[in-house]
Amino acid sequence: MKPNKPLRTLTAFAGIGYVITTTMIPRVSEVFIKVGLKGRDMSKKPPVAEIPESMGIVVAVTYLTLMLALIPFVFFKYLVNFASMSNDEEVSETYLQQYNTLSHNHLFPHNKLAEYLSAVLCLQSTTLLGLFDDLFDIRWRDKFFLPSIASLPLLIVYYVDFSVTSIVVPSFITESQWGSLLLANVEFLIRWGNIVVSRITGLTFSTLAPDYYIKTAIKVPKMLDLGVFYYLYMSAVSIFSPNSINILAGVNGLEVGQLIVLGIILLLNDSCYLFSNSISQAARDSHLFSALFIIPFIGVSLGLLQYNWFPAKVFVGDTYCYFSGMVFAIVGILGHFSKTLMIFLLPQIINFVYSVPQLFHIVPCPRHRLPKFDVEDGLMYPSYGEVTTTGGSALQRIMFNTLEVFGLISLKRDKNGDITHFSNMTIINLILVRLGPLREDALCMVILLLQLITGISMIAFRHTVGPWLFGYDNLTWGVK
Amino acid sequence: MKPNKPLRTLTAFAGIGYVITTTMIPRVSEVFIKVGLKGRDMSKKPPVAEIPESMGIVVAVTYLTLMLALIPFVFFKYLVNFASMSNDEEVSETYLQQYNTLSHNHLFPHNKLAEYLSAVLCLQSTTLLGLFDDLFDIRWRDKFFLPSIASLPLLIVYYVDFSVTSIVVPSFITESQWGSLLLANVEFLIRWGNIVVSRITGLTFSTLAPDYYIKTAIKVPKMLDLGVFYYLYMSAVSIFSPNSINILAGVNGLEVGQLIVLGIILLLNDSCYLFSNSISQAARDSHLFSALFIIPFIGVSLGLLQYNWFPAKVFVGDTYCYFSGMVFAIVGILGHFSKTLMIFLLPQIINFVYSVPQLFHIVPCPRHRLPKFDVEDGLMYPSYGEVTTTGGSALQRIMFNTLEVFGLISLKRDKNGDITHFSNMTIINLILVRLGPLREDALCMVILLLQLITGISMIAFRHTVGPWLFGYDNLTWGVK
Confidence of residue A107 (pLDDT cuts 50, 70, 90): low
* A86·B202 Cβ contact <8 A: no
A197 versus B442: the higher-pLDDT residue is: B442
Tell me, what's the pLDDT at B106?
47
Tell me, what's the pLDDT at B19?
97
Cβ neighbours, 10 Å, residue A418:
13
Q: Which whole number is the average pLDDT over B262-291? A: 87
> Is the pLDDT confidence value at A436 over 90?
yes
B279 versus B427: the higher-pLDDT residue is: B427
Confidence of residue B391 (pLDDT cuts 50, 70, 90): confident
* A83·B135 Cβ contact <8 A: no
Q: Tell me the nearest-neighbour CA distance from B209 into chain A, angstroms.
A: 6
B362 versus A222: the higher-pLDDT residue is: B362
Which residues of chain B neighbour A99 with C-beta distances below 8 Å? Answer: 208-209, 211, 214
Helix axes B228-247, B254-274, angle to 10 degrees: 140
Which residues of chain B neighbour A204 with C-beta distances below 8 Å? Answer: 83-84, 86-87
Decide if the complex's ipTM is over 0.95. no
Which residues of chain B neighbour A220 with C-beta distances below 8 Å? Answer: 95
Confidence of residue B78 (pLDDT cuts 50, 70, 90): low
Which residues of chain B neighbour A125 with C-beta distances below 8 Å? Answer: 64, 68, 124
Closest to B355 (Cα-Cα) out of B404, B287, B423, B302: B423
* pLDDT > 90: percent of chain A: 41
The pLDDT tens digits of the residues spanning B87-104 come to: 333 333 443 444 344 444
Q: Tell me the nearest-neighbour CA distance from A329 into chain B, angstroms.
A: 19
Which residues of chain B neighbour A102 with C-beta distances below 8 Å? Answer: 208, 211
* A202·B1 Cβ contact <8 A: yes
Closest to A160 (Cα-Cα) out of B356, B345, B75: B75
* B35·A136 Cβ contact <8 A: yes
CA distance readout (Å), B333 to B112, B155, B167, B284: 14, 9, 13, 15
* A98·B208 Cβ contact <8 A: yes
Which residues of chain A neighbour B88 with C-beta distances below 8 Å? Answer: 195
Q: Which whole number is the average pLDDT over B127-145? A: 82
The pLDDT tens digits of the residues spanning A3-46 come to: 447 888 899 999 999 999 999 999 999 989 988 889 898 888 88
Closest to A197 (Cα-Cα) out of A226, A167, A220: A226
Tell me, what's the pLDDT at B211?
47
Q: Tell me the nearest-neighbour CA distance from A237 into chain B, angstroms.
A: 19
* A153·B117 Cβ contact <8 A: yes
B225 versus A454: the higher-pLDDT residue is: A454
> Is the pLDDT confidence value at B201 over 80?
no
Tell me, what's the pLDDT at A302?
97
d(CA B122, CA B156): 12
Residue of A nearest to B67 (CA): A153
Residue of A nearest to B215 (CA): A96
Question: Which of B54, B90, B92, B95 to mutate against chain A (most A CBs within 10 Å)?
Answer: B95
Which residues of chain A neighbour B206 with C-beta distances below 8 Å? Answer: 83, 85-86, 98, 101
The pLDDT tens digits of the residues spanning A358-400 come to: 988 889 888 888 899 999 999 999 999 998 888 788 889 999 9
d(CA B354, CA A472): 72
> Is the pLDDT confidence value at B338 over 60?
yes
Which residues of chain A neighbour B87 with C-beta distances below 8 Å? Answer: 204
Helix axes B317-334, B140-150, angle to 10 degrees: 40
| Nearest-by-Cβ selection for A201 from B1, B121, B195 | B1
Tell me, what's the pLDDT at B219?
56
* B79·A160 Cβ contact <8 A: yes
Q: Mean pLDDT, chain A, as a whole number?
A: 83
Report how far apart the first and last C-alpha atoms of chain B are (Å, whole number).
40
* B83·A156 Cβ contact <8 A: no
* A120·B121 Cβ contact <8 A: yes
Cβ-contact A444, A370 below 8 angstroms: no
- Highest averaged pLDDT of the listed ranges A149-158, A305-314, A336-345: A305-314
Tell me, what's the pLDDT at A219?
56
Q: Tell me the nearest-neighbour CA distance from B71 into chain A, angstroms.
A: 8
> Is the pLDDT confidence value at A468 over 90?
no
Tell me, what's the pLDDT at A161?
72
* B80·A159 Cβ contact <8 A: no
d(CA A106, CA B375): 65
Tell me, what's the pLDDT at B348?
93
* A95·B135 Cβ contact <8 A: no
Q: Tell me the nearest-neighbour CA distance from B345 into chain A, angstroms.
A: 29
* B99·A65 Cβ contact <8 A: no
**Chains A and B: how many Cβ contacts under 8 Å?**
195
Which residues of chain B neighbour A128 with C-beta distances below 8 Å? Answer: 61, 124, 127-128, 131
Residue of A nearest to B80 (CA): A203
Residue of A nearest to B191 (CA): A88
Which residues of chain A neighbour B194 with C-beta distances below 8 Å? Answer: none
Q: Looking at the DSSP assignment, which residues form a beta bridge with residue A412?
A: A421
Q: Tell me the nearest-neighbour CA distance from A397 into chain B, angstroms.
A: 42
Q: Which whole number is the average pLDDT over B277-300? A: 87
* 3-state secondary structure string across A309-347: CCCCCCCCHHHHHHHHHHHHHHHHHHCCCHHHHHHHCHH
Torsion of CA A411, A417, A420, A424, to 10 degrees: 10
* A121·B125 Cβ contact <8 A: no
d(CA A239, CA A243): 6
Q: Tell me the nearest-neighbour CA distance from A305 into chain B, angstroms.
A: 23
A471 versus B389: the higher-pLDDT residue is: B389
* A207·B98 Cβ contact <8 A: yes
Which residues of chain A neighbour B124 with C-beta distances below 8 Å? Answer: 121, 124-125, 128
Q: Tell me the nearest-neighbour CA distance from B134 into chain A, angstroms.
A: 10
> Is the pLDDT confidence value at B316 over 90?
yes
C-alpha of B204 from chain center: 28
- Highest averaged pLDDT of the listed ranges A86-90, B2-6, B45-49, B157-161: B45-49
The pLDDT tens digits of the residues spanning A169-185 come to: 877 888 888 888 888 88
Which residues of chain B neighbour A205 with C-beta distances below 8 Å? Answer: 83
Q: Which whole number is the average pLDDT over B418-431? A: 93
The amino acid present at A120, given as its one-letter code, is V
Confidence of residue B306 (pLDDT cuts 50, 70, 90): very high
* 3-state secondary structure string across A367-423: CCCCCEECCCCCCEECCEEECCCCCCCHHHHHHHHHHHHCCCCCEEECCCCCEEEEE
Tell me, what's the pLDDT at B107?
60
Residue of A nearest to B82 (CA): A160
d(CA B48, CA A75): 55
Which residues of chain A neighbour B86 with C-beta distances below 8 Å? Answer: 204, 206-208
Q: What are phi and psi of B24, to 5 degrees?
A: -75, -40
Which residues of chain B neighbour A108 with C-beta distances below 8 Å? Answer: 111, 160
The pLDDT tens digits of the residues spanning A235-247 come to: 999 999 988 898 8
Closest to A224 (Cα-Cα) out of A166, A268, A291: A166
* A160·B128 Cβ contact <8 A: no
> Is the pLDDT confidence value at A346 over 90?
yes
Confidence of residue A88 (pLDDT cuts 50, 70, 90): very low
Q: Tell me the nearest-neighbour CA distance from B244 into chain A, angstroms.
A: 24
Q: Tell me the nearest-neighbour CA distance from B319 into chain A, angstroms.
A: 13
Q: Say what the pTM is.
A: 0.83
Q: Tell me the nearest-neighbour CA distance from B410 into chain A, angstroms.
A: 40
A36-45, A443-452, B135-144, B260-269: least confident range: B135-144
The pLDDT tens digits of the residues spanning B446-466 come to: 999 999 999 999 999 888 877
* B95·A213 Cβ contact <8 A: yes
Q: Tell me the nearest-neighbour CA distance from A336 into chain B, angstroms.
A: 16
